Amino acid sequence: YDLWTCLVPAGCSVLAGDRANMRSDLSLIKNSAFKGIYSLVGLAAVNFLLLPGICLLHLSDVSNAEPSVPVSEDNNTEILLLVWHYRKRNPCDCWEKFRISGCTITEDRSMYNKADAVVMWHQDHQTISNVKARLPPEPRPPAQKWIWGNFESPTNVKRLWKFEGIYNLTLNYREDSDIFLPVGYLIPNVLLDKVPQASLAHRLNSSSDPRPGFVAWVVSHWENRLERVRFYKLLKNHIKIDVFGHAGTRTLPKGRDSVVQMIRQYRFYLAFENSQHTDYITEKLWNAVQGGAIPVVLGPSRKNYERCLPPEAFIHVDDFPTVQELALYLLKVKDSPALIQMHLSWRRDYSVYTPSLWGEFYCTACKAVRMRKGRINVIKNLTAWFLS
């Protein structure tokens, strides 16, 4: 489904001021040397703002398949979800936190025969040498569903072919997975009183006040073969980039949310993924959004990113024919209040939410299992699907 769903409230004339501002900003630069990028980004932004209503991430569907039997949130169906590879956390109350009813999450393997579903993370499979030790015992209880969980990119998923034909559902960042769980998403501020996640969402600030830093990048895993490293080496020939993390020369501030704290000091942040695959958009992007920087992204296509953010909210490296032209554009934006505001004004209407792995991911998986109660399908082409 399309992640952006448009609602048209009665009598709503939303974003008229933004539309006028955007047209004004575009008129300032339409004859500049960067005309090409605005034909792609700026005009797309105008189209986004001209939508007759409010665009928001679709929050209601957690499963991409129709339920096998009608299931409502107020029925008596109870689901026990077992997390097979468990890291000790506090118990999660799915109803209190996310208004998901009828779900119990456990790590107690003695409950295996009673569990309606078992979640297994592929990265845990990869760290266990004995294949037999990676999986629950066979034969599995009747109608029990095994869920393949993974948030790594295909580049970093090994030996997937060994697990063909055993799983019933996929839990993944990909939009076409059975249980779709993005790493982050936007919530329109007008809906904050209507979604349980609102209490944990971060309201965005559209301020374009000056920032002391220009471009920042956090990188902990450095391999010269990676596209993000090659691109950085070319880009640093044209502009100054402050590099943080294990592979950098600068030190992150201490305390919680150290990356976001650092990003708040910079105008741009390089949200470079370690590999380029469909829907593989990680916390790197959402850290930039929370920190109020303009993300410069390297990952899947621009169209893919536009399912997560308005088109003017980020700068894609593919928008420019050369690295030098990207560098020149960043320099131009840095010195132009109008261009900075063009990239940031959308933020005043949104909050950002990043789900908790232990809490929302498992509760959402449990809800999907409730919707499929009594239905068993076996995934026979897991490798071909995930590598596509």
Active site residues: 152
Rounded Cα distance, 365 and 313, in Å? 30
Using omega within 30 degrees of 0 as the cis cutoff, is the peptide bond preceding 139 cis? yes
Spatial contact of 92 and 356, defined as CB atoms under 8 Å apart? no
State the CB neighbour count (10 A cutoff) for residue 377. 13
CA angle 259, 194, 16 (to 5 degrees): 80
What DSSP string runs through 179-220? EE--S-EEEEGGGTTT-GGGGG-EE--------SEEEEEE-S
Q: Quick one: DSSP state of residue 293? A: P
Strand order in the sheet with 350-353: 185-188, 350-353, 202-203
What residue type is assigned to position 221 of the chain? H
Rounded Cα distance, 169 and 40, in Å? 38
